[in-house]
Amino acid sequence: MNVHQLAFSFILGLVLGFFFFGTLWLTVRSLTHTRHPGLLVFASFLGRMGVLLWVFYLIVKDGHWQNLLACLLGFLLLRLVLVRRWRPKQLIKSANEGVME
C-alpha cells in the first residue's frame, strides 16, 4: 500500500463528490425550468450513479479496499463542505438562533 495511492484516491473522492453533488445541485435548480422534471431527475440520477459506481469499481478492482475507503472519505468530506456552503441563509440564521435559546 502506497501513501501516494491513498492521497490520489482521497483527491479523486473530492473530485467525485464535487461532480456528484454539483450536478445534483444543478438538477434541482433547473427543475422549475424544464417541461419534464421527472425525466430530468431520473436521467440525472442514472448519470451521477453510473459515474460514481464506475469510478468506485475502478478503484476497488485492484483489491486494495484502503483506496476505496480513502475515496469515500473524500467524497463524504466534500458533501459536508458543500451542504454547509450551499445551505440557504435563512436556515443558517434560524439554526443559530435555536442554539442561543
Question: Could you read off the pLDDT of 43-96 as tens digits, one per residue?
Answer: 999 999 999 999 999 999 888 899 999 999 999 999 999 888 877 776 656 666
Confidence (pTM): 0.79
Cell representation of residue 11 = 483527491
- Please determine, for residue 101, whether its predicted confidence score (pLDDT) is greater than 60: no
Within 10 angstroms of residue 68's Cβ, the number of other Cβ atoms is: 17
Within 10 angstroms of residue 82's Cβ, the number of other Cβ atoms is: 17
Residue 30 has what DSSP assignment?
T
The CA R_g of the chain, rounded to the nearest whole Å, is 17
Rounded to an integer, what is the distance from CA 2 to the centroid of its chain?
A: 25
Cell representation of residue 78 = 466534500
For 89, the domain range is 3-100
The whole-angstrom separation of Cα 64 and Cα 43 is: 31
Give the residue-averaged pLDDT of 10-21. 95
Q: So what's the pLDDT on residue 85?
A: 85
- Please determine, for residue 97, whether its predicted confidence score (pLDDT) is greater than 90: no
Q: So what's the pLDDT on residue 86?
A: 78
The whole-angstrom separation of Cα 19 and Cα 5 is: 21
Domain count, the chain: 1
Residue 34 has what DSSP assignment?
-
